[in-house]
């Protein structure tokens, strides 16, 4: 059962935990060994803890997943993985990783524990409450950023990045709801009861609001955050953000994708290029002085 168990851990979704690195990059400590090592360790722990939540979520939704055209092939829903093995794996991972998180940094451990509790509440209760469900998902991303902040002991991390993270996470979560409505159509309620509280008009309006506010928040960050270079070069990264959001809107509205944002992020070449160029531009702007000294 090793292979089905590894699949249930959903390693593809570990890309979400890259938000742990936000503090390291934007606080100017990317090339400092100790903060980098601590952040990498925190990333690994968050990957394992998030996998614990995926196992619990699959256990809770096992019957509903069997009615889903895609999720019915998951190991638990298809019978490839025993629920007993999944329960033991989830408990084992949590019992090992949570103490390690507190050992690495007490505040990081507290945030990791808060993340686990929040996501367990989501799996059993919060995912069935309209609007609260997507807000909870966004809170999970904010906790990832906060965990990175705790590990790095930030000095210049802008609160604007929490705002941008919240809006972007909501944008992705609502886009996923839209894809589920499109994919399941009349059978949406039988798979996920909360989908009966949404419709295409509502999610499209929310997506429009979130895309606009995400762009505005990021623009305000680029020229108002106190920790950025005074030459405002960070504003040069705005076009990449615009293209990335517009490309994602194209994918969910025209191509009817968006059900698995992590798959889109690693498969859609134009979006990969935009993310890569944005990351490169951010590093060049924030670390231009360090890079100049390195090449002297």
pLDDT tens digits, one per residue of 65-87:
787 777 888 898 888 999 999 99
**Domain edge (last residue) among 138, 157, 176:** 157
Mean pLDDT calculated for residue range 85-103: 96
| Same-domain pairing of 143 and 209 | no
The token pair at 103 is 């050992």
**Count of domains for the chain:** 2
pLDDT of residue 188: 53
| Same-domain pairing of 116 and 217 | no
- Number of helical (H) and strand (E) elements in the chain, helices listed first: 15, 0
**Is the pLDDT assigned to residue 202 strictly greater than 80?**
yes
| Same-domain pairing of 52 and 186 | no
pLDDT of residue 130: 94
| Same-domain pairing of 21 and 89 | yes
The token pair at 290 is 């360090």
SS3 226: coil
**Which is higher by pLDDT, 160 or 71?**
160
| Same-domain pairing of 118 and 193 | no
**Domain edge (last residue) among 105, 129, 157:** 157
- With residues binned 3-state (H G I as helix, E B as strand, rest as coil), the percentages for the chain, rounded to 5, are 80, 0, 20
| Same-domain pairing of 104 and 236 | no
**Is the pLDDT assigned to residue 159 strictly greater than 80?**
yes
Report pTM: 0.91
Mean pLDDT calculated for residue range 118-136: 94
- Angstrom distance (rounded) from CA 103 to CA 262: 30
SS3 167: helix
| 2 within domain boundaries | no
**Domain edge (last residue) among 111, 127, 157:** 157
| 5 within domain boundaries | no
pLDDT of residue 38: 96
Mean pLDDT calculated for residue range 127-132: 94
| Same-domain pairing of 213 and 120 | no
pLDDT, averaged across the chain: 90
Structural domain harbouring 62: 10-157
| Same-domain pairing of 146 and 22 | yes
Instruction: Give 101's contacts (C-beta < 8 A, 6+ positions apart).
Output: 42, 45, 49, 108, 109, 112, 113
**Is the pLDDT assigned to residue 45 strictly greater than 70?**
yes
| Same-domain pairing of 137 and 215 | no
**Is the pLDDT assigned to residue 292 strictly greater than 50?**
no
């Amino acid at each position: 059962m090793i292979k089905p168990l590894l699949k249930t851990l959903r390693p593809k979704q570990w890309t979400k935990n890259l938000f742990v690195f936000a503090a390291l990059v934007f606080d100017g400590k990317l090339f400092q060994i100790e903060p980098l090592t601590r952040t990498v360790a925190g990333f690994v722990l968050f990957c394992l803890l998030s996998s614990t939540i995926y196992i619990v979520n699959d256990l809770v939704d096992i019957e509903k997943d069997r009615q889903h055209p895609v999720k019915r092939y998951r190991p638990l829903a298809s019978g490839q993985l025993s629920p007993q093995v999944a329960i033991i794996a989830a408990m084992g991972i949590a019992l090992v990783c949570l103490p390690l998180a507190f050992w690495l940094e007490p505040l990081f451990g507290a945030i990791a524990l808060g993340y686990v509790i929040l996501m367990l509440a989501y799996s059993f209760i919060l995912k069935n409450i309209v609007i609260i469900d997507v807000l909870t998902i966004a809170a999970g991303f904010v906790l990832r950023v906060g965990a990175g902040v705790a590990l790095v002991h930030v000095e210049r991390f802008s609160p604007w990045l929490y705002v941008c993270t919240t809006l972007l996470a909501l944008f992705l979560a609502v886009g996923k709801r839209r894809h589920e409505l499109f994919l399941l159509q009349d059978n949406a309620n039988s798979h996920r009861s909360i989908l009966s509280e949404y419709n295409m008009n509502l999610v499209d309006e929310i997506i429009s609001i979130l895309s606009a506010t995400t762009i505005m928040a990021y623009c305000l960050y680029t020229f108002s955050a106190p920790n950025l270079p005074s030459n405002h070069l960070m504003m040069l990264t705005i076009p990449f953000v615009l293209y990335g959001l517009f490309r994602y809107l194209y994918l969910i509205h025209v191509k009817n994708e968006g059900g698995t944002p992590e798959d889109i992020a690693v498969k859609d070449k134009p979006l990969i290029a935009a993310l890569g160029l944005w990351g490169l531009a951010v590093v060049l702007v924030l670390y231009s002085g360090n890079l100049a000294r390195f090449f002297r």
